[in-house]
Copies of this chain bind each other. A is one copy, B any other.
Amino acid sequence: MAQPLGEFEQMVLLALVRLGPGAYGATVRREIQMRARREVSISAVYTTLERLEQKGLVRSRIGEPTPERGGRRRRHFDLLPLGARSLREAYTALVGMTAGIEGRLKTL
């Protein structure tokens, strides 16, 4: 296994895939809230991103100051190859476990 992923780690990585290179704390949070319909505290997002970076699944870079209003510089995140592999493995594991019972799961 590339790297085992926790449940929330998967969510965060999936959000990064969806969002692409511009992703940062707030957009990751919003994406998860919209798509997974669950409450997410912003610090949970940052903590997780930080740990994913330490494990080499993700990389971050500091963006330029935004042209619009005040605020600190954004820290953008994107997926590294190890993160991609880990996510794929977690996903295929899930697919394997749910294969053939998708219908039943939705009506549980």
Q: A5-B7, A7-B5, A18-B101 are in contact. Are A108 and B84 (CB under 8 A)?
A: yes
Contacting residues, chain B, for A94 (C-beta < 8 A): 10, 36, 94
Q: Is the CB of A36 within 8 A of B96?
A: yes
Question: How many copies of this chain does the complex contain?
Answer: 2
A21 to B93, CA, bound (A): 23
A36 to B95, CA, bound (A): 8
Q: Is the CB of B91 within 8 A of A105?
A: yes
A-B contacts, 25 of them at CB < 8 A, read A4-B7, A6-B6, A6-B7, A7-B10, A10-B94, A11-B97, A15-B97, A17-B108, A18-B101, A35-B93, A36-B93, A36-B96, A36-B97, A37-B92, A37-B93, A37-B96, A38-B93, A85-B108, A87-B105, A87-B108, A88-B106, A88-B107, A91-B98, A91-B105, A94-B94
